[in-house]
Amino acid sequence: MSKLFYFIVVLFSVGILGCSQKMTVENAILTDAPQVPPQITRTHPAKVIVDLEVKEVVKNIAEGVQYTFWTFGGSVPGKFIRVRESDTVEFHLANHPANKLPHNIDLHAVTGPGGGAASSFTAPGHKTQFTFKTLNPGLYVYHCATAPVGMHVANGMYGLIYVQPKKALPKVDHEYYIMQSDFYTKGGYGEKGLQPFSMEKAIDEKPTYVVFNGAVNALVGESAIKANVGETIRLFVGNGGPNLVSSFHVIGEIFDTVYTEGGIGANQRNVQTTLVPAGGSSIVEFKMDVPGTYILVDHSIFRAFNKGALGMLKTNGTEDKSIYSGKEVDENYIESKVNESAPVAPPQEPKEAKSGQQIFINSCSMCHQSEGQGLAGVFPPLANADYLMKLAKSPDRASLISIVLKGLSGKVTVNGKEYNNVMTPISGLSDEDLASVLTYVTNSWGNAAPHFSASEIKKAKEKLSQP
């Protein structure tokens, strides 16, 4: 009896052990930026199957500018992959038959030769498979590692894989996927048509474009990420490079918590700007306290306003004047200081023209340049500008006044050339100041239009404030 009992116990134990070793199997949910797959709620490891296809596609990198992107999943950046610590990931990499080149994948979350690259070299029309264990939680970059590696990365082959820790980070209201990268085209910024890759620029580390989520204005206007006052935001921020380090910043917000370099330990709080290395990442969290449009930038600031590294977070809700008052004082300061510094002035232009010129130099010339010539492909000219003159000579000039007060984003055509950028609102101007600068701009550099008056500005403001 004792031997039979012992045999039954052994069989039962083996059966229990066998059952405990069985893992659930699931297909990974993959998302395009800026969306993130939902938080994993299971409390046990699983076998997760990831299917990713490489596609070589022609898409816009800027308005009217096409580029041949090499992609993981048809978009830049590649799909966001979310798995859990201690999962077993069965990874399938397919190379579309229409592609011209072999590709592979190096996931920084993988412990093994080449991060998977050594096992995933895939010719066009083929599919490969390898398996890895998610030993370390965190936010990791993945990219192609086929020679020449820099060229494959520079053409858009990167994304993020998040190995969610066993104890998940606290829940937030919104999670978004933001990835910066630099592109190197033979033509200059905004030069139209299909642009080839420039190896010379890439080696010299002189990018034509620095962008979020694969294109200029990918996170602007209707494509902006969104939130409401009182909600918490978590941004999974990656940097595909291939060359530049990102100084990631959200204008008007402070990161309550930063998980530096993609780790899952909250090691910094109340951070203004965080560095994201090429081939690295960061997780940032913050709460929205007041409504408005918040601008995401690489704070190497010419990249934001001249190369494309700019996005928007639009927040709706009720204002809280105790946190942010808005403009409280609007008075003439420039003219009084001019008079103080030159009490005995020689004959000069009419007061309106001179103050308008000074305001233009202080507020507008950085983008539109000192003679109103603009910057080719970036900021439209004001000199001899048909778009400007059409608005300045129209019976209702409130739309021109609105551009100065509220800003402008999206495509405009000036003198037969398209521009697609962002003009930020100009604040702090009295009605007299705004009339002066508009009069100066619309009557300089070959322009000629009726002068603006303070009363016209006031009426336009009243009209614009109506629902």
pLDDT tens readout for residues 444-463: 999 999 999 999 888 888 88
User: Of 22, 146, 118, 131, which Cα lies nearest the Cα of 83?
Assistant: 131
| CB within 8 Å of 465: residues ≥ 6 apart | none
Supply φ then ψ for residue 17, to 5 degrees: -65, -40
| pLDDT of 177 | 98
User: Of 392, 362, 250, which Cα lies nearest the Cα of 313?
Assistant: 250
Judge residue 254's burial from the number of C-beta atoms within 10 Å of its C-beta, 0-12 exposed, 13-18 middle, 19 or more buried. middle
Q: How confident is the model at residue 333 (pLDDT cuts 50, 70, 90)?
A: low
User: Which DSSP category does 312 fall into?
Assistant: E
| pLDDT of 91 | 98
| pLDDT of 359 | 78
pLDDT tens readout for residues 191-229: 999 999 999 999 999 999 999 999 999 999 899 999 999
| pLDDT of 350 | 42
Q: How confident is the model at residue 162 (pLDDT cuts 50, 70, 90)?
A: very high
Mean pLDDT estimate for the chain: 89
CB of 235 within 8 A of CB of 284? yes
d(CA 79, CA 32): 5
Q: Count the alpha carbons within 13 Å of 399 in the hemisphere toward its beta carbon.
A: 10
Please name the residue that has the structure tokens 């109506």.
466
CB of 147 within 8 A of CB of 121? no
Question: Is 405's pLDDT higher than 90?
Answer: no
Least confident span in 265-274, 299-308, 404-413: 404-413
Least confident span in 85-89, 151-155, 315-319, 355-359: 355-359
- In this prediction the pTM is 0.73
Q: How confident is the model at residue 161 (pLDDT cuts 50, 70, 90)?
A: very high
pLDDT tens readout for residues 10-57: 445 544 444 445 789 999 999 999 999 999 999 999 999 999 999 999
Distances (CA, A) of 350 to 29, 360, 440: 66, 16, 11
User: Of 398, 407, 400, 412, which Cα lies nearest the Cα of 458?
Assistant: 398
Question: Is 141's pLDDT higher than 70?
Answer: yes
User: How many other β-carbons are positioned within 10 Å of the β-carbon of residue 345?
Assistant: 10
CA angle 152, 154, 157 (to 5 degrees): 55
